[in-house]
Amino acid sequence: MSFATLPDLILEPLVKSALMEDLGSYGDVTTRAVIPDDVTYSARLRAREEAVVSGMQVAALAFRLVDATLEVKTRVADGAVCQPGDVLMEIEGKAASILMGERVALNFAGRLTGIATLTAAMVSETRGTQARITCTRKTTPGLRMVEKLAVLHGGGFNHRYSLSDAILIKDNHIAAAGGIRAVLDATKAHASHMMAVEIEVDTLDQLREVLEVGGASVVLLDNMTPAELREAVEINAGRLALEASGNVKRDTVAEIAATGVDYISSGALTHSARTVDLGLDF
């Protein structure tokens, strides 16, 4: 399991934007009206269900950006498993500052813990196989950085972060370029030697053509049945990395992993994860 972190410097613009959205143009008028500035408190962020934790780094940063004098102590690290009632974080200091950061911290932590938890469940279905679970670019706009981090916390792996990371030739690229041979020849002519190349195929005949033409290092087997995936593994004979994609859910992933593919990508990790119930108790 990965206990990945990012420098706060990278995360700060994202968290600051969320705080500005929540505080509006005039700040927290409720807190300012009813909580004296000199009131201090100790708050605890608790889990209300079993989960794989993510977003603690982000939540802590949210509180510190509201008020650098707050003392924030993470009790359960990102990537660890929590149980109902576990204290994940303690925040001490001005009550007004804690209240101003509460919702943004909980929004991030609940959402990211949900992604990590779903990822861990998917990963558990692959035990005994060589398959790795990876996410996709089907992320919430603006939140890709932290959602992909949450996948790592759940024991998964990241696919491309952006369109500039690697060449991934999809079916529409193949159609527009004039076929598999044409698109792979063009890639060989123009791609940097440092740029990985993956190509999507829909049929086993297309896989055979990719192996004949060369130029790719990974083949994405799109929406193939388990029987087709097993045959693809036999045809490939270890020459290229194989990635299965399409309709990958928790109840299908074990059968896909058993076919012998190297990677299984699932957009559901980020677009369909349920927010985990967390709460801040005074």
In angstroms, the CA 236 to CA 94 distance is 62
Question: Is 222 designated active site?
Answer: yes
Choosing from 102, 147, 222, 262, the catalytic residue is 222
Choosing from 170, 181, 208, 230, the catalytic residue is 170
Tell me the sheet residues that pair with 243.
Answer: 220, 263
Question: Is 243 designated active site?
Answer: no
Judge contact between 89 and 72, C-beta under 8 A: yes
Instruction: Count the residues in the chain.
Output: 282
Choosing from 32, 48, 138, 230, the catalytic residue is 138
Question: Is 200 designated active site?
Answer: yes
Choosing from 102, 125, 198, 200, the catalytic residue is 200
Q: Which tokens is 142 given? A: 């603006």
Question: Is 138 designated active site?
Answer: yes
In angstroms, the CA 56 to CA 210 distance is 44
In angstroms, the CA 188 to CA 167 distance is 11
In angstroms, the CA 40 to CA 120 distance is 38
Cβ contacts of 123 within 8 Å, gap of 6 or more:
133, 154, 155, 156
**Burial grade of 178 (CB within 10 A; 0-12, 13-18, 19 or more):** exposed
Judge contact between 196 and 217, C-beta under 8 A: yes
Alpha-carbon torsion, ordered 219, 220, 222, 225, to 10 deg: 70
CB-side exposure of 6: number of CA atoms within 13 Å? 21
CB atoms within 10 A of CB 105: 28
Question: Is 170 designated active site?
Answer: yes
CA 111 to chain centre: 11
Choosing from 32, 103, 208, 230, the catalytic residue is 103
In angstroms, the CA 269 to CA 104 distance is 22
Residues annotated as part of the active site: 103, 138, 170, 200, 222
